[in-house]
Amino acid sequence: MDETTDDTGIQDGTDQTVTDEQRAERQEKQAEREAKEALHEEKMAEREVKTAEREAKQAEREEKAAYREEKMAEREAKQDERAEREAKRAEYEDREDREEIEGTTDDDVFVGTEEAEVFTGGEGADTFSFTYELPSETDEETSNDDTITDFSAEDGDTIVLDTAEGVSVSFSYGDSDGDGEDDYTLITLSYDTAQEGSTIDGGGIIDLGSIAILDNILTEADLGL
Ligand SMILES: [Ca+2]
Ligand SMILES: [Ca+2]
Ligand SMILES: [Ca+2]
Ligand SMILES: [Ca+2]
C-alpha cells in the first residue's frame, strides 16, 4: 500500500462517517462565511459610496474654484477697462488748459499752429485747417495737441488736414466723461522714420500731434481721407 491509496482510504472512510452534527456545523460555518462575505461586500459598497461622495465634493470644490477664477478674471478685465477709460479721460482733461480760440457766428477759418490750441467755431460753417510738416531732426518733442470743442457737420463745419508725404493719420476714440461710451474722436499724426522712402534717419515713430474732436465720432471718410 502506498500513502496516496492509504489517504484516499481514510478520507473515503471519513466522508462516509460524516455525521449530521458535523454537516450542520459545516453548514453553519459556511453560513458564517457567507455572512462575513456579505458584510465585507456591504462595507466595500459603503466605501465606494463614500469615495463617490468625496469625488463629487471634490468636483464641486473644483467647479467653485474655477467659477471664482472666472469671476476674478472678469473683475480684472473690468478694472483694466476702467483704468484705460481713466487714462483716456486724463488725456482729455490735459487739453483743457490750452490756448482757446473762439470764432464768430459767421463762417470762420481757423489755421492751427504748432502750439496746442482749443478751437471753438461757434455758429456758421467753420473750417479748421491743420498742416503737418515732416519733422526735422532738430525738432523738440512736440505737444501740438489741438481740440475742436463744437464741431458740427450739420452746420457745415469742415476739417482740412494737410500732411506731408509719409505722415500717417490714425483715428481712435475716447470717453471724456467716463460713462463707458466713446464720445470724441482723436486723430493722431505721426511719422515712421523706418518707412520706405523716409528721408529722416532714426527716431522711430515721431509724434507730430493730435486733434481731439469733442462730441463727435468721425471716421476717415468723414474727413474725405
Ligand atoms: Ca496746434
Ligand atoms: Ca463760426
Ligand atoms: Ca460751426
Ligand atoms: Ca462718454
Angstrom distance (rounded) from CA 196 to CA 199: 9
Give the per-residue pLDDT at 4: 47
Ligand 4: centre distance to CA 86 (Å): 11
Ligand 4: centre distance to CA 80 (Å): 17
Ligand 1: centre distance to CA 177 (Å): 23
Residue 143 near residue 112 (C-beta atoms within 8 A) = no
Q: Which residues surround ligand 2, an ion (CB under 5 A)?
A: 103, 108, 121-122, 124, 126
- Residue of 98 and 103 predicted with greater confidence: 103
Tell me, letter by letter, the H, E, C secondary structure of 160-191: EEEECCCEEEEEEEECCCCCCCCCEEEEEEEE
Report yes or no on whether pTM surpasses 0.75.
Answer: no
Give the per-residue pLDDT at 178: 87
Dihedral angle sign, alpha carbons of residues 32, 37, 41, 43: positive
Give the per-residue pLDDT at 16: 59
| Residues whose CB is less than 8 angstroms from the CB of residue 132 and which lie 6 or more positions away in sequence, other chains included | 161, 162, 163, 164, 167, 189, 208, 209
Give the per-residue pLDDT at 87: 84
Mean pLDDT of 68-85: 94
- Among 92, 80, 68, 51, residue whose Cα is nearest residue 174: 92
Give me 107's grid cell: 463762417
- Residue of 137 and 19 predicted with greater confidence: 19
Domain parsing of the chain, residue ranges: 3-91, 100-223
pLDDT category at 52 given cuts 50, 70, 90 is very high
